[in-house]
Structure 1
Amino acid sequence: MEKELLYKFFAGTATLEEKECIMRWMEVSPNNKAVFLKERKWYNAVLLNSEPGNVLAAANKKQHWMRSGVMKFLRIAAMIAIAFGLGYFAQDRDDDGPVPMQTIAVPAGQCVNLTLPDGSSIWLNAQTTIQYPVSFNKHERKIKLDGEAYFEVAKDKKRPFIVNTKDCSVEVLGTKFNVDAYSSRDKFETVLMEGSVKVSMHTDPSETVSLKPNNKVYRSNGKLLTQKIDNYERYRWKEGLICFQDEPFRLVMEDFEKFYGLKIVVNNQKVTKYLYTGKFKQTDGIDYALSLLQKNIHFTYQRDRENHVVYIN
């Protein structure tokens, strides 16, 4: 696999066909996956210490980076998969003043796993942005999320872990849960797999829900509502699986846009009247995904490969 193609993938500029080619190549052998991870670490290290326009050129000069002390950045890059910016924002840290904030943005078609300073593990779905401090303060562990993430939070009873989204906050001590809060979709949902969480709305702090395992909380008409969860297939995206059960066509297409980094235009409104169920690997590609749906109801589609648009007819 050409390294320049891998760097295009990391930067989110690879075409859909190139993304599918890379994902298939990774599945061929453990050695390919190891090469992929190694090159991603290099890319991350260079990205943290280069001008945006010079990342590709600098990433190809590995010996120069070794001599210039890039190994200290590799230790950081080993904990993250894609880092698109290192910003500095004010955050209280006892009497020590502002703390640097790490900002990570994931392009469409990719999924990222990272480890936070407290040892918590997070998986970030496509088109997700997260901000967190390079070190948490003595009282709390607070992060900002726009998108979807799965959390395995390290237990620390003295410092609650708080996820702030556009409309709600999720507070935990140590647990496993999934948060779906893309601001572009005006959506908020938290699903609890293990432990306990407390969810509150920013606009109305009295609107608070304490969630038990195998339940989810979601926002609807300014209220927080709960629902029992019997099937976790929908939340296996971090395994590279796209799963949907009795989902409206519109929501399925939104997921395809997110996972494959393209735009889908639905001209055939008949397909929006039905609910769909399916499961497949993301690496199977958009054509396989659409052919799977075609087994349920008749429709055709056309792909504008140059502009990355799919038309459902």
Structure 2
Amino acid sequence: MSNHYSDIDRLISLYLSNRASESEKQELEEWLQASEANRDVFRQLKKVWATPARHEHSDELHSVRDQIWIEGTEPQPEVLLSKPRRLHVVYWSKVAATLLIFLMGAWLLSYLIQRNTTVIPETVDLVSQVNPAGQRSTHRLPDGTKVWLNAESSLEYPEKFSDTLRLVKLKGEAFFEVAKDRSKPFIVEADGTKTEALGTAFNINAYPENSSVTIALLEGKVRIEDIAHRQTAILSPGEELLATKETEHFDRRAFDYEKAFGWKESILILDGVNFVSFCRTIEKWYGVKVKVNGTPSDDWHIRARYQHEDLRHVLRDICFNKNIEFEINDKNVVLTF
């Protein structure tokens, strides 16, 4: 496509939008004087430009001019030839001009109408599942994926997944049994990480107070991305990955099944936790508030395992072991040293 076509298109656009300089007006005038066919084209375009739909779109015409001008169809200046030859040139010049007018007019009308039509995207309702402290739940997603949602956790997902992607957002901790669908990757966004799977079972621990996000893979394969630091890793079954929030560090290691997944079977693991972590775990697990009277020793740690045990049983066991007095008043627990 020649530069000449582009120049004429630009000149017409500038002139019709009252933005042409004196030199540009002169250049357009010379083009109009070159042939009657050129003037016919201009008159027809001027009529199209006067339609109500064209407002505010002249600035954009030059950016799409390659769609307007069709190579080889620009009307050419008349040339003095012998009569038969001259008639032949004039005839085909008029044919080309007519075709050009039709194409340019049709395109401009279509373009301007489309530009004035507001496209309203389809809205999809979101579902939000929220668990307070002391509550765990299971959910079935629209694709058949099963989710175990831990206490103090929330999960957000659309009522209907798109045709290309299954995206959910997690705060806290959840275990996923992902329904297989290789045409739609399953992605979990959690505290700055993305975990992608096609069909697999994995756990994500992404509580805000934790210094890292932990992803443990039970079966299948997942791809993990640290969004901020642009790091990626692929996990195999039996591996877990700790993504430190403040750095680019990924720590890959083997996991203990009960420590990683036991919570969804009501197994409470206290793996050498200090006193602060113990109180936080009790609050989250049982939905209570812990108040402390006195000060525990610096080397205070507890290691224990409970399954389907109530709060009183757990406190009685640990407080006896650590020589602590406890009191339960509804949703409040008082520990006294």
With normalisation by structure 2, the TM-score equals 0.59
User: Which residue pairs with 2:58 in the alignment?
Assistant: none
Counterpart residue identity of residue 253, structure 1: C
Distance in 1 of aligned mates of 2:227 and 2:149: 23
Shift of 1:298: 2.7
- Consecutive unaligned residues in structure 2, runs of 5 or more: 1-119
Q: State whether structure 2 residue 302 is matched by structure 1 residue 302.
A: no
Q: State whether structure 2 residue 267 is matched by structure 1 residue 241.
A: yes
Q: Match of 1:273, SS?
A: coil
Alignment of 1:26-65 (within 5 A): none
User: Which residue pairs with 2:160 in the alignment?
Assistant: 135
Q: Match of 2:199, SS?
A: coil
1:236-270 CA-partner distances (Å, limit 9, x unpaired): 11122212323333223222101111122344543
User: Which residue pairs with 2:235 in the alignment?
Assistant: 211
Contact 1:99–1:134 (8 Å) recurs in 2: yes
Q: State whether structure 2 residue 198 is matched by structure 1 residue 173.
A: yes
Shift of 1:307: 6.1
Higher Rg of the two aligned structures: 2
Counterpart residue identity of residue 215, structure 1: E
1:11-44 CA-partner distances (Å, limit 9, x unpaired): xxxxxxxxxxxxxxxxxxxxxxxxxxxxxxxxxx
Distance in 1 of aligned mates of 2:124 and 2:186: 17
Distance in 2 of aligned mates of 1:194 and 1:307: 38
2:208 to 177, 183, 189: 183
Q: State whether structure 2 residue 284 is matched by structure 1 residue 258.
A: yes
Against the structure 1 CA distance between its residues 248 and 197, is the aligned structure 2 distance closer, same or farther, given a 3 Å change threshold? farther
Q: Match of 2:143, SS?
A: coil
Distance in 2 of aligned mates of 1:266 and 1:228: 36
Q: Match of 2:250, SS?
A: strand
Contact 1:130–1:146 (8 Å) recurs in 2: yes
2:145 to 120, 128, 132: 120
Distance in 2 of aligned mates of 1:154 and 1:194: 12
Counterpart residue identity of residue 180, structure 1: N
- Consecutive unaligned residues in structure 1, runs of 5 or more: 1-94
User: Which residue pairs with 2:306 in the alignment?
Assistant: 280
Against the structure 1 CA distance between its residues 252 and 214, is the aligned structure 2 distance closer, same or farther, given a 3 Å change threshold? farther
Q: Match of 2:285, SS?
A: helix
RMSD between superposed Cα atoms in Å? 2.2
Distance in 2 of aligned mates of 1:231 and 1:246: 17
User: Which residue pairs with 2:134 in the alignment?
Assistant: 109
Counterpart residue identity of residue 214, structure 1: G
Distance in 1 of aligned mates of 2:318 and 2:143: 42
Alignment of 1:213-228 (within 5 A): 213-220=237-244, 221-222=246-247, 223-228=249-254
Alignment size in residue pairs = 216
Contact 1:271–1:299 (8 Å) recurs in 2: no
Q: Match of 2:334, SS?
A: strand
Shift of 1:289: 1.1
Q: Match of 1:188, SS?
A: strand
Give the fraction of aligned pairs with identical amino acids, expressed as a percent: 29
With normalisation by structure 1, the TM-score equals 0.63
Counterpart residue identity of residue 165, structure 1: A
Contact 1:268–1:299 (8 Å) recurs in 2: no
Q: State whether structure 2 residue 223 is matched by structure 1 residue 198.
A: yes
Against the structure 1 CA distance between its residues 272 and 176, is the aligned structure 2 distance closer, same or farther, given a 3 Å change threshold? farther
Distance in 1 of aligned mates of 2:265 and 2:165: 30
Q: Match of 2:322, SS?
A: coil
User: Which residue pairs with 2:106 in the alignment?
Assistant: none
Distance in 2 of aligned mates of 1:271 and 1:151: 39
User: Which residue pairs with 1:290 in the alignment?
Assistant: 315
2:170 to 112, 120, 145: 145
Q: Match of 1:98, SS?
A: coil
Against the structure 1 CA distance between its residues 231 and 302, is the aligned structure 2 distance closer, same or farther, given a 3 Å change threshold? same
Distance in 1 of aligned mates of 2:258 and 2:236: 15
Q: Match of 2:313, SS?
A: helix
Contact 1:250–1:272 (8 Å) recurs in 2: no
Distance in 1 of aligned mates of 2:293 and 2:236: 42
Contact 2:292–2:336 (8 Å) recurs in 1: yes
Counterpart residue identity of residue 246, structure 1: G
